[in-house]
Amino acid sequence: MSMPLELPTRQLIVQKFGGSSVSDAAGIKRVAQRVVDNQRAGHEVVVVVSAMGDTTDELLDLSSEITDSAPAREMDMLLSAGERISMALLAMAINQLGSKAQSFTGSQAGMITDGIHGKARIIDVDPHRVRTALDKGKIAIVAGFQGMSRESNDITTLGRGGSDTTAVALAAALDADVCEIYTDVDGVYTADPRVVPAAKKIDRISSEEMLELAASGAKILHLRCVEYARRFGVPLHVRSSFSHHEGTWVLPSPEDKITVSEGVALEQPIISGVAHDRSEAKVTVVGVPDTPGKAAEIFQVIADAHSNIDMIVQNVSTHGRGSTDISFTLPIVEGADALDALKSAQDRIGFESIEYNAEIGKLSLIGAGMRSHPGVSATFFKALADAGINIDMISTSEIRISVVTRADLLDDAVRAIHSAFDLDAETQATVYGGTGR
């Protein structure tokens, strides 16, 4: 009797395709072929899809033509539709290629969340229907970015960019070998290649550094996806759906530290990259009485409005004596609620006025060992000064320096810092698709 042929190693792979990878029928067919090729190579494949192209933004625009105060539940019903369109079309395209596929909404795939519409958190994943589909030799397609509230059974969404988190949560629940995030660039770069064409691709990055980049606004990965991958030890491979190049591996365990190449002094700061963020606005509370407890009152009001504050600066007021100005940044999408809440507390707290500016941008330099290297700040601020960029706010941590600038100067600032820290590559990065919206 002859020995059976050795089968190729069978892996369970979760593959997530972002909006630009499925922006039209041709894109969906291209993705379908790629998925089918993987299955035919002997793997079990679960696919998570985002809404086609800029569909989510278009749905948001459409709703704002109708109302500026849409009920959060209805907004989630609307936005979750985008991913349903992609999942069904992709399943059709795969069936057309002769393989079997079955699509699932987030709730059918067992994505159970809390009830906070628009930024729901996953609290349980029960992918038994996905597992059954795989056992029947099918490719399972899951709509990203959505789940179902445990309390109300209503449809929820996970926040912008949340399909990455759907993918990693499924990968963890199914004990997948790898979670591949397919997008429109070849991986994670030292800066957004749309802004810095000389950005360098990073081959391997620790989850700590990736967390900091994502938290600072590098939208290549959803922050909660990186947190989830680290917590559950899921290896992430970020790569392009438009090429077959090896992408960036985000290494989940703390032992997988970046390897410092020989000859580089171990105590040099290791700069991982520059992130930028246009999604925040700056609020200044002018003329706050300079007495203990006033900052606490202001931030309690903001917390009660469920707003996430980022940078905070308190300065001596130019508007009079005995009072200060407090500035902070928060997501633009939370701005209106926060301002309403502050206005209704104005008399009680006793401040003079509120200023709001959404035309700001935040730049962050991320790297290990920055605080202990005075040279880093000197180089950083000199580069901005040479580029003629005025700084509005500053914050630092052990591994990050962030500044707020005028929004229209942000791209120049990112390029200046990228060059100043010698991150520029000789070759230009490729951006394959997408509108950058």
Least separation in angstroms between residue 214's CB and ligand ASP is 13
Residue 50 interacting with ligand ASP (CB under 6 A): yes
Q: Which of 102, 50, 104, 55 is nearest to 78 (CA)?
A: 55
Residue 280 interacting with ligand ADP (CB under 6 A): no
Least separation in angstroms between residue 363's CB and ligand ADP is 12
Please check whether residue 245 is in contact with residue 429, taking contact to mean a CB–CB distance below 8 angstroms. Answer: no
Using CB under 6 A as the binding criterion, the count of chain residues that bind ligand ASP stands at 13
Tell me which stretch binds ligand ASP (CB under 6 A): 95-103, 155-163, 329-337, 370-378.
155-163
Q: How far is it, in rounded angstroms, from Cα 114 to Cα 222?
A: 18
Least separation in angstroms between residue 161's CB and ligand ASP is 5
Q: How far is it, in rounded angstroms, from Cα 118 to Cα 142?
A: 19
CA angle 186, 17, 184 (to 5 degrees): 30
Backbone angles phi, psi at 170, to 5 degrees: -70, -40
Please check whether residue 269 is in contact with residue 368, taking contact to mean a CB–CB distance below 8 angstroms. Answer: yes
Least separation in angstroms between residue 238's CB and ligand ADP is 8
Map the footprint of Mg ion across residues 153-192, applying CB under 5 A.
161
Residue 273 interacting with ligand ADP (CB under 6 A): yes
Please check whether residue 75 is in contact with residue 61, taking contact to mean a CB–CB distance below 8 angstroms. Answer: no
Q: Which two tokens stand for residue 246?
A: 């090896």
Give the three-class secondary structure for 63. helix
Residue 206 interacting with ligand ADP (CB under 6 A): no
Cα–Cα separations (whole angstroms), residue 52 to 17, 27, 140, 389:
10, 9, 18, 37
Nearer residue to ligand ADP within complex by CB, 301 or 431: 431
The residue at minimum Cβ distance from ligand ADP is 18
Nearer residue to ligand ASP within complex by CB, 146 or 324: 146
Residue 106 interacting with ligand ASP (CB under 6 A): no
Residue of 17, 104, 145, 328 interacting with ligand ASP (CB under 6 A): 145
Q: Which of 325, 316, 313 is nearest to 288 (CA)?
A: 325
- Can you give the binding site for ligand ASP, defined by CB under 6 A? 18-19, 50-51, 56, 82, 144-145, 160-164
- Can you give the binding site for Mg ion, defined by CB under 5 A? 18, 161
- Can you give the binding site for ligand ADP, defined by CB under 6 A? 18-21, 50, 161, 183-185, 188-189, 191-194, 218-220, 273, 431, 434, 436
